[in-house]
Amino acid sequence: MSQHEIDEPTGVDTTGHEWDGIRELNNPLPRWWLWCFYLTIIWGVGYTIAFPAWPLINGATAGLLGFATRAEVAADIDRYAQQNAGLTSALAKVELASLADNPDLHRFAVANGAAVFRSHCSQCHGSGAAGAVGYPNLLDDDWLWGGALAEIAYTVKHGIRNETDDDAHYSQMPAFGDLLEEEEIAATVQYVLQISGADHDTTLAQDGAALFEEQCTACHGEQGQGDRSQGAPNLTDAIWLYGGDTTALTATITNARFGVMPAWGQRLSPSDVNAVAAYVHGLGGGE
Ligand code: HEC
Ligand code: HEC
């Protein structure tokens, strides 16, 4: 039921709403409240005029104050670059072997290198640089191509087995599936297990030793200790890039592997290349 009437005890008009015999009084809103409400509306409209607000097809209204978080970040980056311009150009030209003699420059390099690593390297090498299958761990002192600062910088600058940099490290293990019988590969696997200190079949490993001598030592060395000039991994240290169990070894030897690392010399500035090399070198395995 709905009808306007005066509430007797208070003398106030009612709204006509009634629930279970309770009627709603039609008291006006307090004036102070109403004014605050109008002010917020005015403020809100003013805000959308002053600041970027209304969506357009490409972007949004810019706002009269010209405020932009992007511009602020760009200005911050500019300011930082200007402050460090001296260090940056010194780092681009530094003789890497003597970087450690300049503690300020070295600290700057490592801090910058950590940022470069987070944005460009962690996708493959892991945020903590511990690597993954096919992507080497950069924390240990097991190096495919060399762990001295200048060697790391070279690897970063030119990359490995990519097609974009003529000076990239290059080598290719043959796929022995085309060259050896399955039993011969199985024997070689047992020999690799033996020299890496893992459980193995002794009889098979003996046959494998002869095959290894013939087929593998040119790259992996007489003792299987590896050869950095060819990026051929040490097979005796039980640190595996592609896995050290029978299945993984059989796959590696049958099909070979072809790990590719991009060249960064074309994408990063010379100082950033040196910075990230200094960072990686400082992670623990640097030589
Ligand atoms: C697309 C993946 C990828 C990215 C991104 C990448 N790497 Fe690599 N990196 C590799 C692979 C794969 C190898 C191993 C190649 C091989 O098998 O020899 C490698 C090898 C290396 C090595 C040689 C390690 C050794 O034992 O000699 C260094 C040093 C290295 N990367 C540093 C970096 C740095 C620094 C960055 C960032 C600027 C980076 N990588 C970005 C894939 C990547
Ligand atoms: C022409 C040089 C060359 C020859 C010959 C060669 N390898 Fe390799 N081998 C390499 C290179 C280079 C790599 C690293 C590939 C990569 O990083 O993508 C490798 C990787 C491996 C790996 C992976 C190691 C790991 O850490 O996961 C194994 C195992 C291996 N070789 C075994 C052999 C055996 C066994 C033979 C002989 C039957 C052999 N290789 C012959 C160059 C060679």
Q: Could you identify the atom of ligand 1 that is nearest to the CA of residue 169?
A: 18
CA 212 to the chain's CA centroid: 37
**Does residue 262's CB lie within 6 angstroms of at least one atom of ligand 2?**
no
Q: Which ligand is nearest to the CA of 145?
A: 1
Q: Which ligand is nearest to the CA of 173?
A: 2
Residues having CB within 6 Å of any atom of ligand 1: 117, 120-121, 123-125, 134-136, 138, 143-146, 152, 155-156, 160, 231, 259-262, 264, 276, 280
For residue 60, the model assigns a pLDDT of 87
Over range 51-66, report the average pLDDT.
90
For residue 3, the model assigns a pLDDT of 59
Q: Show the CA angle centred on residue 183, arms to residues 179 and 185, nearest 5°.
A: 50
* Residues contacting 36, CB < 8 A, separation 6+: none
For residue 7, the model assigns a pLDDT of 86
For residue 247, the model assigns a pLDDT of 96
**Does residue 125's CB lie within 6 angstroms of at least one atom of ligand 2?**
no
For residue 118, the model assigns a pLDDT of 96
Q: How far is the CA of 261 from the centre of ligand 2 (A)?
A: 17
Q: Show the CA angle centred on residue 189, arms to residues 184 and 192, nearest 5°.
A: 125
Nearest to 228 by CA among 166, 162, 141: 141
Q: How far is the CA of 84 from the centre of ligand 1 (A)?
A: 28
Pick 217 or 10 by higher pLDDT: 217
CB atoms within 10 A of CB 232: 21
Q: How far is the CA of 259 from the centre of ligand 1 (A)?
A: 9
For residue 1, the model assigns a pLDDT of 47
pLDDT over threshold 60, residue 40: yes
Nearest to 169 by CA among 118, 218, 125, 227: 227
Residue 70 corresponds to which tokens in the numbers above?
């992007």
Residue of the nearest CA to atom 39 in ligand 2? 216
For residue 59, the model assigns a pLDDT of 86
Are 133 and 243 contacting, i.e. CB atoms less than 8 angstroms apart? yes
Residue of the nearest CA to atom 43 in ligand 1? 261
Q: Could you identify the atom of ligand 1 that is nearest to the CA of residue 142?
A: 26
Q: How far is the CA of 160 from the centre of ligand 1 (A)?
A: 8
> Model confidence over 102-155: pLDDT tens digits?
999 999 999 999 999 999 999 999 999 999 999 999 999 999 999 999 999 999
Are 283 and 139 contacting, i.e. CB atoms less than 8 angstroms apart? yes
Mutating to test ligand 2, I would choose from 216, 222, 250, 258 the residue with most ligand atoms within 8 A of its C-beta, which is 216
Percentage of the chain with pLDDT > 70? 99
For residue 122, the model assigns a pLDDT of 96
Count of residues for the chain? 287
Nearest to 270 by CA among 113, 103, 137, 135: 113
Over range 50-77, report the average pLDDT.
91
- Residue 14 identity (one-letter amino acid): T
Residue of the nearest CA to atom 40 in ligand 1? 121
Q: Which ligand is nearest to the CA of 219?
A: 2
For residue 129, the model assigns a pLDDT of 93
Q: Could you identify the atom of ligand 1 that is nearest to the CA of residue 268?
A: 38
> Model confidence over 221-230: pLDDT tens digits?
999 999 999 9
